[in-house]
């Protein structure tokens, strides 16, 4: 293996040097962070109704999906991304489908076996990341897919099976996330996951069974468990639904845990203003774009709009690119193929969303909605989710008026294709 991850206090090291120390322009205070993104569907498949993923102008094939993610990694690495999360049971989708109708589960009902096709795709991702100098956060369990297990004993056995496979593979660039948001309601009925003491014990087992891989377990947005944090090698938190102040408060709780260890947010949102909050606090931040990165067939590249603005903010913070003097904007959701059953998810993305006071959205000349929080979406539900605009008709005229904190206004227009 070429990429050897290690941990010293609150910092991540690769091959004995703090992450980003290879960048002479990176500020000293950011060396040792592990900026990341949620690429949770990297080994995704569906055994319930795979034909429904012929959408967004693309067809879905699990192997091509994995290959496309691998092909996109060098561009992300070039912007400063050094880690990403991939889940054996995936996550979401959250906009278009009920995840309870999807069968993205590689484990046998008793947890003793894992589908070899999933293992092969995960191995390809880990090895490709290793070649680049990247870390894979391998997530073992996702709430909605745990309905396929016979009982809690099967869940424990699944963790044992996955960790045994990883031990044989012997990767040196993996962090284990035992469960994604273990406190979430989708784990109801599984006390082996939801009970804090049980999860703390499971973390210890995962560490031992995997041969000593660093372990952690995330909670839902804003949630913090002292017991789970103390049992973790990496304290994993989620920023979903959190304002910048709430995220800062969450990070304070994590940094108070002793002995010190890294704090890594591996899921937040498109609210890239939170990136600066985390980095300033000394925490690694995780970008999460529900639409482009969690709705199969996913678009793994750095897509125009929010993806691009996050990548550029990351690159500027790390000194890879010079800081842009002015703000840039994009009215999203009008891409010809980004439509599902007549629905579109419309948003205003910005390079510096912190400079925006509000965004007014006009549909055929009439005020339709106003957004005050980053990300600035139509039908805002939280910083990671929005409701769709229904019955979009080709030829509709949309305008976004962006009111900045300095008193200026910028107008953007799009036509529904």
Q: What interhelical angle do 116-132 and 62-78 show, nearest 10?
A: 20
322 token code pair: 């010079």
DSSP bridge pairs for 403: 358, 409
pLDDT digits (tens, 9 = 90+) for 300-336: 999 999 999 999 999 999 999 999 999 999 999 999 9
Q: Where in the chain is the domain with CATH 2.60.40.10?
A: 329-415
What does the pLDDT look like over 49-85, one tens digit per residue? 989 999 999 999 999 999 999 999 999 999 999 999 9
Instruction: Pinpoint the residues of the chain covered by CATH 3.20.20.80.
Output: 5-317
Dist CA 285 CA 272 (whole Å): 10
pTM recorded for the entire structure: 0.98
Gyration radius of the chain's alpha carbons: 21
d(CA 116, CA 114) in angstroms, rounded, equals 6
Query: Average pLDDT of each block of 10 consecutive residues along the chain (417 residues)?
Result: 97 98 97 98 95 92 98 98 98 92 97 98 98 98 96 97 98 98 92 95 98 98 98 98 97 98 98 98 97 95 98 98 96 95 97 98 98 98 96 96 98 98
pLDDT, position 189: 87
User: Which of these, 134, 370, 137, 309, lies nearest to 234 by C-alpha position?
Assistant: 137
Query: What does residue 366 show for φ and ψ, rounded to 5 degrees?
Result: -110, 140
Which secondary-structure segment (H or E) carries 183? none
C-alpha–C-alpha distance, residues 250 and 222, integer Å: 6
Domain 329-415 in CATH 2.60.40.10: yes
The fold for domain 5-317 equals TIM Barrel (3.20.20)
């Amino acid at each position: 293996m070429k990429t050897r991850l290690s941990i010293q206090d609150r910092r991540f090291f690769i091959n004995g040097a703090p992450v980003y120390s290879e960048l002479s322009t990176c500020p000293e205070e950011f060396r040792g962070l592990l900026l990341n993104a949620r690429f949770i569907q990297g080994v995704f498949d569906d055994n319930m109704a795979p034909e429904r993923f012929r959408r967004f102008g693309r067809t879905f094939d699990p192997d091509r999906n994995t290959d496309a993610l691998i092909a996109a990694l060098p561009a992300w690495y070039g912007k400063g991304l050094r880690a990403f999360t991939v889940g054996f049971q995936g996550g979401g989708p959250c906009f278009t489908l009920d995840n309870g109708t999807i069968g993205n589960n590689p484990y046998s009902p008793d947890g003793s076996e894992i589908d070899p096709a999933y293992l092969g795709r995960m191995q390809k991702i880990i090895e490709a990341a290793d070649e680049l100098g990247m870390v894979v956060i391998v997530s073992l369990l996702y709430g909605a897919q745990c309905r396929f297990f016979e009982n809690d004993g099967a869940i424990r056995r699944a963790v044992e099976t996955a960790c045994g496979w990883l031990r044989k593979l012997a990767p040196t660039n993996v962090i284990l996330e035992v469960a994604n948001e273990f406190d979430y309601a989708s784990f109801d009925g599984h006390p082996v996951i939801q009970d804090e003491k049980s999860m703390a014990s499971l973390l210890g087992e995962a560490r031992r069974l995997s041969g000593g891989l660093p372990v952690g377990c995330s909670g839902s947005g804003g949630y913090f468990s002292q017991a789970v944090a103390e049992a973790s090698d990496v304290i994993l938190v989620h920023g979903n639904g959190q304002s910048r102040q709430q995220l800062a408060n969450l990070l304070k709780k994590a940094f108070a845990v002793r002995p010190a260890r890294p704090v890594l947010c591996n899921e937040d949102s498109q609210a890239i203003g939170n990136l600066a909050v985390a980095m300033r606090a000394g925490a690694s931040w995780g970008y999460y774009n529900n639409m482009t990165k969690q709705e199969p067939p996913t678009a793994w590249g750095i897509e125009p709009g929010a993806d691009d603005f996050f990548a550029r903010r990351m690159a500027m913070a790390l000194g890879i690119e010079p800081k842009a003097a002015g703000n840039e904007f994009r009215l999203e959701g009008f891409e010809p193929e980004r439509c599902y059953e007549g629905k579109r998810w419309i948003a205003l993305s910005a390079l510096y969303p912190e400079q925006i006071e509000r965004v007014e959205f006009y549909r055929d000349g009439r005020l339709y909605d106003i957004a005050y929080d980053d990300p600035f979406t139509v039908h805002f539900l939280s910083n990671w989710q929005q409701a769709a605009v229904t019955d979009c008709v080709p030829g509709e005229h949309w305008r976004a008026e962006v009111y900045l904190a300095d008193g200026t206004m910028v107008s953007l227009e799009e036509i529904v294709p």
